Structure 1
């Protein structure tokens, strides 16, 4: 299990390819996962700073719980760059290669930050990347949630939807929180856009049709997971059923305008290649031809050479507090 901290598919805002974790070689995708997280670094840092203020903002100016989608009403810092007072231990559950855990460590410099994942190779990459700053914990998720140790803040990005019973997973994570602690779940948001509606190949609206096929694939992936349970994905309500008090939802923009650098184009090509492997049989012939043209490494119409390619998506973070 890993979070892409990010989503799944070129238009993905939903995780890492929407295939059962047991059948996927996360280790082979380590560099790709790192780039995906790097693309979202600005949004994640902004989200972490919001969490830092929210941690100490238990009530708003009227004495009620802060449950807005805007700026947190109060802030509690200790003078160390905005780190919330009392955050001693942070878990990044489904951390992958540790990019986002590293960003959390920068925002919470006084805390022990632990990257949690099922992949030993990805956790080793996290240790190397952080120069030993991060702690790591290999765990079978969700079976070993109760072995993670207590935490003041838990971040889980695009990982919960890879678990069959999402509600049970949230409830287990809530049980690890210390009193007053926060659980932050980054799920869904907006699927990425990376080309104009009409980009000169095939019928306009290609990405919308790709998204539709991808959503069907996501539903199929969920249905095949062990202990798969249908759930209305109202994340604040799910967090409340886990015994927590919802404390705010915010969405953070990831905006890389055209023309893109070569590395980001290569990232998009990898995403498109994965989508081709997953969805080609479900696409209409015209859309399949468009996808294959975008994958052409030599053609000027390929994603590696298009000056109109951009990257735009939104990451939504839902939070809740333990009484």
Structure 2
């Protein structure tokens, strides 16, 4: 999944709640793709490819941020987009039709924690953005990617440094440092569910038989005035974080956070003139020899 989202397990959730959850997640993924499009494009341009790829696999594709960035970068390539979520894949197919590239995109619904992966062919490039940390057994998943890739093929792993930051350290005035406390609570919760989030994938890739051909960290710092999507993105990301850490915040912090998330309020985060998007993404380019 190409995302900056908080992991929210849905096992045991009602169908209606699950659908609502997936819709919310899909909207964040779409906003993430829009807000960070230039940075994703810069990663695809940086990849140390030996030949132009014709078959690409996007592992944990979400709603298609990586899929469509790769389709744009490599106009002769076909992409196999793989995800566990039927809802996300349907959204991706709809976008492909809207863009007129449906003939170049194949979707595969699969749980990549299963020992046996579906037949994904022999791609020249496998892309995994913010998805490897979801794997229950990342080492096994890396070996599966190695075996799937064509000899000489490239595996691009993009990892998030954490949730994006949106406010200065001294904001909001009534609860300075609120965002750092919110993120600290989210990070503690995520460490329980996804211990590999933010991991250094280099040693694990080498252990799986890959040769690391490049590593790069992309720093993102976007002014909120640049696009109204940034306000919606900040609101959506913080709403999702709130939904899973509300019980870990003080009542004062929760009140201040809700003030920022009230889209009808003049104090809404989307209306602040100090709104930015600050985050980092690290990409490893690993070759199968």
Normalising by structure 1, what TM-score? 0.79
- What is the aligned-residue RMSD (CA, Å)? 2.2
- d(CA) in 1 for partners of 2:198 and 2:74? 33
Give the C-alpha shift of residue 154 in structure 1: 0.5
Aligned equivalent of 1:300, options 261, 266, 269: 266
1:134 to 1:321, Cα distance in 2 relative to 1, 3 A? same
1:19 to 1:103, Cα distance in 2 relative to 1, 3 A? same
1:277 to 1:190, Cα distance in 2 relative to 1, 3 A? closer
State the SS of the aligned residue for 1:212: helix
Q: Which residue of 1 aligns with 2:46?
A: 50
State the SS of the aligned residue for 1:178: coil
Give the C-alpha shift of residue 157 in structure 1: 0.9
Q: Is the Cα contact below 8 Å between 1:257 and 1:312 reproduced in 2?
A: no
Normalising by structure 2, what TM-score? 0.87
- d(CA) in 1 for partners of 2:188 and 2:162? 16
Q: Which residue of 1 aligns with 2:232?
A: 266
Question: Is 2:287 aligned against 1:321?
Answer: yes
Give the C-alpha shift of residue 231 in structure 1: 10
Give the C-alpha shift of residue 190 in structure 1: 5.2
State the SS of the aligned residue for 2:150: strand
Q: Is the Cα contact below 8 Å between 2:66 and 2:127 reproduced in 1?
A: no
Question: Is 2:58 aligned against 1:92?
Answer: yes
Q: What are the Cα deviations for residues 192-239 of structure 1, in whole angstroms up to 9, with x where unaligned?
A: 22111112433322222222111111012237xxxxxx8993310000
Q: Is the Cα contact below 8 Å between 1:6 and 1:158 reproduced in 2?
A: yes
1:266 to 1:231, Cα distance in 2 relative to 1, 3 A? closer
State the SS of the aligned residue for 2:151: strand
Matches within 5 A, 1:96-175: 96-130=62-96, 131=100, 132=102, 133-143=104-114, 144-175=116-147
Q: Is the Cα contact below 8 Å between 1:195 and 1:309 reproduced in 2?
A: yes
Q: Which residue of 2 aligns with 1:71?
A: none
Question: Is 2:23 aligned against 1:28?
Answer: yes
Q: What are the Cα deviations for residues 96-125 of structure 1, in whole angstroms up to 9, with x where unaligned?
A: 121320110111222221211122232222
Where in structure 1 are there 5+ consecutive unaligned residues?
Answer: 9-16, 57-83, 224-229
Question: Is 2:51 aligned against 1:37?
Answer: no
Name the count of aligned residue pairs: 276
Where in structure 2 are there 5+ consecutive unaligned residues?
Answer: none
Q: Is the Cα contact below 8 Å between 1:154 and 1:182 reproduced in 2?
A: yes
- d(CA) in 2 for partners of 1:96 and 1:192? 18
Give the C-alpha shift of residue 189 in structure 1: 2.8
